[in-house]
Amino acid sequence: MYNEPPEHFVKTIQGVQRNLRQLLKMPEWSPDDWRRVLVVVVSDGRAKIHPDTLTLIGLMGGYQDGVMKKAYQGLPTQAHLFEVTTMAQFHGDPESGTKPVYPGARNNEAVVPLQLLFCLKEQNKQVRAPV
């Protein structure tokens, strides 16, 4: 993800949640098999991510402002990782405004937990792995 507007992020997450609900209906899957799925979102650069998209990820519990550091033990930070199992679901058309819906809210679809790993890269460049 580079600088996608929040509407694109919501459409993607809605599609993932819809697909996960369909998987759980298959005979070889049990209702608790949502634990077998991990959604990984990588954002290419802390300064490049759309601020409203970052807010939506925060509403899902997948981002916390104020905990990131630019360096650790004298070394520059490459990326920030946030992990959450969320029950937040987005309902409605993202183009006309959508809001997260949490368990207990009235809706016609089962709320399935979603495991989310959000990687926010510090810089807009390839992360170098040690050799």
The average confidence (pLDDT) of the chain is 84
Give residue 104's pLDDT band: very low, low, confident or very high (50, 70, 90). Answer: very low
Residue 26, C-beta contacts closer than 8 angstroms, at least 6 positions apart: none
In the predicted structure, residue 110 carries a pLDDT above the cut 90: no
Q: Taking the domains of the chain in order of start, what are their residue ranges?
A: 6-121
Residue 98, C-beta contacts closer than 8 angstroms, at least 6 positions apart: 10, 90, 91, 92
Where is 84: in which H helix or E strand? Answer: strand 79-86
d(Cα 14, Cα 94) in Å, to the nearest integer?
A: 10
Q: For position 93, what pLDDT does the model report?
A: 64
Q: Evaluate if pTM is beyond 0.75.
A: yes
Query: Regarding predicted confidence, which is higher, 42 or 65?
Result: 42
d(Cα 114, Cα 88) in Å, to the nearest integer?
A: 8
pLDDT digits (tens, 9 = 90+) for 47-77: 899 999 999 999 899 999 888 998 999 999 9
In one-letter notation, the amino acid at residue 114 is L
